[in-house]
Amino acid sequence: MGHIAEVMTRRPVALAPDDTVETAYRLFEREHFHHLPVVDGQRLVGVVSDRDVLRAVSPFLETGSERDRDRYTLRRALHMVMTRKVITASPQDTLAAAADRMIVARVGCLPVCEAERLVGIVTRSDLLKVLVAGR
């Protein structure tokens, strides 16, 4: 099996800690992403998932019952809902090591970093595509 650098998405879409939950919510909705790295400059500081965002927003949002306080949930900063302890990988890691790390940590993605600088992301879907292609 190859290395992460061969299958990772380079220059992934990333957000800043002070970006809003709404920014992530709209990106997830439009692009069908499930994970977004959160960076301060180019330094990885967290990851936010579509599940994190859905837990943070009001269930009444965009319904007939929506109120001002429901819309307020979208204005929260990402640093309030993101995961700070991020499991990462390096471009030199093998795909098998990455898959094992994801299974053990029960995560759906691994931001790929070099010296804390985000250089890519590999997801569970990326690894499954490699598995299917190698049959």
pLDDT in tens, 91-103: 999 999 999 999 9
How high is the pLDDT of residue 66?
65
Tell whether the model's pLDDT for residue 116 goes beyond 90: no
| Burial class (CB within 10 angstroms; exposed 0-12, middle 13-18, buried 19+) of 72 | exposed
15-61: pLDDT as tens digits: 999 999 999 999 999 999 999 999 999 899 999 999 999 888 877 66
How high is the pLDDT of residue 98?
94
Q: How many CB atoms lie within 10 A of CB 120?
A: 22
Structure tokens belonging to residue 15: 């957000």
Q: How many separate domains does the chain show?
A: 1
Structure tokens belonging to residue 130: 């490699």
Domain hosting 70: range is: 4-133
CATH of the domain at 106: 3.10.580.10
What does each C-alpha distance from 27 to 17, 33, 64, 87, 95 come to in angstroms?
15, 7, 23, 22, 27
How high is the pLDDT of residue 63?
66
Structure tokens belonging to residue 62: 């965009």
